[in-house]
Structures are given as C-alpha cells and as structure tokens.
Amino acid sequence: MTRWARSRDELEVLQRELATLSPEPWSFRGPLVVGAVFAAFSTRADRAGIERGWAAAVAGAARAEIAFAVDAPYEPGYLALREGPALEAAVRALARAPDVLLVDATGRDHPRGAGLALHLGAVLDLPTVGVTDRPLVAVPDPEGRLLLDGREVGRLVRTRRGARPVCVHAAWRTDVETACRVVLACASGRARTPEPLRLARFLARSARARDEGRLPPGWRPVEPRFNRAGGGG
C-alpha cells in the first residue's frame, strides 16, 4: 500500500484494504530514533482563497519542513486526503529516517480501521504510533483501554503528572503495548505531548507564523529541548 487516494470513495476503499493487512510486527528495541511529523494550517486563506499548510518532520537532529496547498476540507476519518501526501513529503525530506514515527492522527481507531497514522506508515514503510487528544470512534473503558467493537485499539496514557492523558494508538506494525512504550520513552514529564511530536508541532507552527508575517524581524525560534530517551541517537 504505497499510494494516496484522490477522493472520499477511493480513500474509503483503500482504508478498508489497509485495515485487513497484517504486516510484520515491529518490536521496541533501543536505542532508537523516535521521529515525528505534524501539519499546521493557515489561520486565513490567501488572496486567491486557497488554504495553505505547513508540515514539519523531525528525527533526532534532523529537521525538515514543507509548505503545501490544501485541497481538501477538514473531515474526521478523511485526514489522508487533506494532509497525507504532505506528511509523507516532509518525512522523506529528512536527512535520515527515524526508527519509528509519531503522528498526530489515529491508527486502528477509525470507522474503517485505518486512520492516517496507519496509512502514512504503510506508505513510508515505517512503524508508526498515533497520538491524539481524544479518541475518534473508540470508547475508553474504566481501565483506560480504547475499545472498538470489543477490540483494544489504543490506550489512554498519562505522560505528565496531573495532566489529562493522551490517546495512544496502535498503527502501522505497532500494537497497543508497543505504542505505549514508545510514547512513554519520549515523554519528558514536563509536557503532555511526547517530545518529538511537540518539536514537530512547534516547527510547523513557527513556519506558518513566519510565512504569514506574524513574527518580528530577525526572530529565530528556540526549539523545545529533547528528553534524551525521546531524542534518540
């Protein structure tokens, strides 16, 4: 599965196909480079009415960012149409590939069993883990397991004391236990979001602010500091 869809109908078929695949499971064996990718979107349309996006990817010390035109609206369950190719391009622009990739999207927690985190991993041939603020269609049980049709597809994980837990999703070549281990290994304890994903988000949003002219002249971003376990290397 190395392609993206161009329509909702095509994407639905592709997602159902992806959900049936059983790729070789990936095991968490350190030391690892945990990468991440994140997309930010314009706060206003340009003069032609076109929405813009910025995707940033990180892998250890490697950084990459791209700007792109957005040609699909935001719609839960169809994020691959809106940002999938751009996320792929950002990751492929990295000087080195990560061992596992964090994605701001779901995996098996999806109406058709294959969210963007899983789809992106299949396209890149990289193990992936989804990290989101809330479930998509799964329902958490009292133990924090995210259940869909009686199957655990993710878990609520508290990465910072006193903070609301994040939703950690099994995605491409990762099961729930492995996904949780990856996220906890790169949680700083200071921030709720795992460090690589927090950095990718910061870089994408900084690129957006720069290109929209919302930064003072000469301003340079000061990157969030990595936890050693999350930075990988």
pLDDT at position 48, please? 61
The per-residue pLDDT for range 43-89, each reduced to its tens digit, is 776 656 788 999 999 999 999 999 999 989 999 999 999 999 999 99
Domain-located, residue 36: yes
Domain-located, residue 220: no
Domain-located, residue 117: yes
Domain with 39 in it: what CATH number?
A: 3.30.2170.10
Q: In terms of DSSP H, where are the helices of 73-175?
A: 79-92, 116-124
Of the listed ranges 190-194, 212-216, 228-232, the least confidently predicted one is: 228-232
Domain-located, residue 140: yes
**Which residue has better confidence, 93 or 1?**
93
The per-residue pLDDT for range 92-142, each reduced to its tens digit, is 999 999 999 999 999 999 999 999 999 999 999 999 999 999 999 999 999
Domain-located, residue 188: yes
The per-residue pLDDT for range 208-227, each reduced to its tens digit, is 998 888 876 666 666 766 54
- Phi-psi region at 135: left, alpha or beta (left = phi > 0; alpha = psi -120 to 50): beta
pLDDT at position 193, please? 95
Over range 4-28, report the average pLDDT.
Answer: 96
Count how many domains the chain has. Answer: 1
How many whole angstroms from its chain centre is CA 60? 16
Q: Which domain holds residue 87?
A: 8-23+30-215
pLDDT at position 227, please? 46
Domain-located, residue 229: no
Domain-located, residue 227: no
Over range 22-50, report the average pLDDT.
Answer: 86
Q: In terms of DSSP H, where are the helices of the chain?
A: 8-20, 79-92, 116-124, 176-185, 195-211, 228-231
Domain-located, residue 66: yes
